Amino acid sequence: MGMTIAEKILAAHSGHETLVPGQLIECKTDWVLCHEITTPAALRMLEERGMDRVFNPDQIVAVPDHSVPAMNIKAAQMYQKLKSWVKEKGIKHFYDVGRGGIAHVVLENSGLIKPGQTLVSGDSHTCNAGALGCFATGVGSTDLAGAIYAGRVWFKVPETMLIRVTGKMQPGVTPKDLVLEVIKRIGADGANYLVMEWVGDTIDNLDMEGRYTLTNMAIEAGGKTGIVAVDDTTRAYLAERGVNPGDYTEYTSDADAKYRVVIDVDASAVEPTVAYPNIPSNGRVAGSDRIAVTHAYVGSCTNGRIGDLRDVARILKGRKVADGVQMIVVPATQLIWKQAASEGLLEIFVDAGASVSYPSCGACLGMHSGVLGPDDVCISSTNRNFVGRMGDPTAAIYLASPATVAASAVSGFISDPRDYNGSIEAAD
Ligand SMILES: CC(C)[C@H](C(=O)O)[C@@H](O)C(=O)O
Ligand code: SF4
């Protein structure tokens, strides 16, 4: 029987010729990604058991990102724990504050993670890296401890959902709108423990940044991970990072691979989509209701990349953030920050009255850089709008594309970015 990309990667990492969904396997991990929030708990578990070692210091990537630079003493201690462990174990790839940013985005850009590999991390958006044609997933602290210690994790082989996307997206519509539309259709549990494999000419025509936005949000539909097969776009992206086809294995799904379900999406019919509180599946067309906002947030591992910042700048250029709206832009990494500075984007943001913050998870999970207060209303390019996610439990979070966030910041109401089509097309 044919196999999917995910099944083939898992087979190759568990010493099996073939695999079937549901099978339990012990899987080798090529990479373990560690940040300062979940790693300390895993390290404590290992220390308490006298198992305080790492399987390979060259295959661990450590990036403090959630609560850095530290905003309180507790955060400073978590950071210290990660940093001292990195030093003690000789962890080779450490992206300290000032050299990194959001772990997932630092990793995707690093040239370390490659197609055909496996990656785990104690973070649910690890699925982000699946856009590179690898199997990447989040695990709990116990599995993280096991992976750090032995370079192995247990998996139940997941079934796969095939998402076939065809057609051209309208100007002003982005991969974020597409993924919010898919999650709206299948539900926040619609892909529970499934791999979400994206195919079709729309996906073929997407750049890597857009593909990351899709795979990043697999977890918001309950997915085990998201995945996109390697193509020329992937190869060129990797080559720019010094990684050549001989350095990795490309897997493709067989024509007779078995899928749990197939979803067909006409990309030309997707509209700018906003997920209303308090669940990412609560999508509606942007601007269909008149909702005043107090905050506009651009950032996160879903939409804090350079293309996202360019989308925002196109709309903000020559305009002002509406009175009474606090807009914060958080470039996902130092590299993106620098690129945005060199392209003059940061200046556009500041001239418009937006505040630019340092690369980190920021207010995405309500830790710092714009935590929401009681009854605040935020339009955000992040991935989760659960109660209390960005701060006070009475605050309302609306998830959208960076373009929709920018359009809404300017008007003061959740707005359709197609009303700014001139700005969007001008830069294409
Ligand atoms: C803090 C971390 C464990 C968490 C996650 O796993 O996703 C965070 O990144 C989030 O987005 O909620
Ligand atoms: S940016 Fe947000 S979603 Fe991404 S890892 Fe950080 S907290 Fe989690």
Q: Which helix (H) or strand (E) holds 145?
A: helix 141-150
Structure tokens at 200: 């079709």
Question: 277-419, what's its fold?
Answer: Aconitase; domain 3 (3.30.499)
Whether 112 contacts 100, CB under 8 Å: no
Dist CA 418 CA 424 (whole Å): 8
Look up residue 320 and give its DSSP letter: -
Whether 317 contacts 292, CB under 8 Å: no
Dist CA 7 CA 19 (whole Å): 6
Q: Does the structure show a pLDDT above 90 at 422? A: no
The interface predicted TM-score of the complex, written ipTM, equals 0.99
User: Can you identify the CATH homologous superfamily of domain 5-266?
Assistant: Aconitase, domain 3 (3.30.499.10)
Whether 117 contacts 32, CB under 8 Å: no
Tell me the ligand closest to 68's alpha carbon: 2
Choice from 124, 127, 141, 330 to test ligand 1 binding pocket (greatest atom count within 8 A of CB): 124
CB neighbours of residue 52 within 10 Å: 16
Look up residue 227 and give its DSSP letter: E
Domains 5-266 and 277-419 share a fold: yes
Query: In DSSP terms, which residues pair with 380 in a beta bridge?
Result: 297, 399
For residue 268, report the distance from its CA to the centre of ligand 2, in Å.
29
Could you report the per-residue pLDDT of 6-65, keeping only the tens digit for each?
999 999 999 999 999 999 999 999 999 999 999 999 999 999 999 999 999 999 999 999
Query: In DSSP terms, which residues pair with 137 in a beta bridge?
Result: 120
Dist CA 119 CA 304 (whole Å): 22
What per-residue confidence (pLDDT) applies to 423?
A: 66
For residue 104, report the distance from its CA to the centre of ligand 2, in Å.
8
Choice from 36, 68, 125 to test ligand 1 binding pocket (greatest atom count within 8 A of CB): 125
Whole-structure pTM value: 0.98
Whether 97 contacts 69, CB under 8 Å: yes
- Where along the chain do its domains lie? 5-266, 277-419
Q: Is the CB of 383 under 6 A from ligand 1?
A: no
What's the Cα-to-Cα distance from 298 to each of 41, 271, 377, 406, rounded to whole Å? 30, 20, 14, 8
Q: Does the structure show a pLDDT above 90 at 427? A: no
Q: Is the CB of 120 under 6 A from ligand 1?
A: no
pLDDT band at 428 (very low <50, low <70, confident <90, very high): very low
What per-residue confidence (pLDDT) applies to 110?
A: 98
Could you report the per-residue pLDDT of 217-226, keeping only the tens digit for each?
999 999 999 9
Ranges assigned E (strand) in 29-158: 31-34, 60-62, 93-94, 118-121, 135-138, 152-156
Whether 14 contacts 27, CB under 8 Å: yes
Terminal-residue alpha carbon distance, the chain? 44
Q: Is 324 exposed, middle or buried (0-12, 13-18, 19+ CB in 10 A)?
A: exposed
Could you report the per-residue pLDDT of 289-308, keeping only the tens digit for each?
999 999 999 999 999 999 99
Dist CA 175 CA 236 (whole Å): 20
What's the Cα-to-Cα distance from 179 to each of 114, 163, 225, 288, 386, rounded to whole Å? 24, 10, 14, 19, 17
Could you report the per-residue pLDDT of 20-29, keeping only the tens digit for each?
999 999 999 9
Q: Is 318 exposed, middle or buried (0-12, 13-18, 19+ CB in 10 A)?
A: exposed
Q: Is 427 exposed, middle or buried (0-12, 13-18, 19+ CB in 10 A)?
A: exposed
Dist CA 36 CA 82 (whole Å): 6
> Residue 210: phi, psi to the nearest 5?
-65, -40
SS3 call for 18 = coil
Q: Is the CB of 104 under 6 A from ligand 1?
A: no
Distance of CA 224 to the CA centre of its chain: 14
| Range 204-230 average pLDDT | 98
The amino acid occupying position 374 is: P
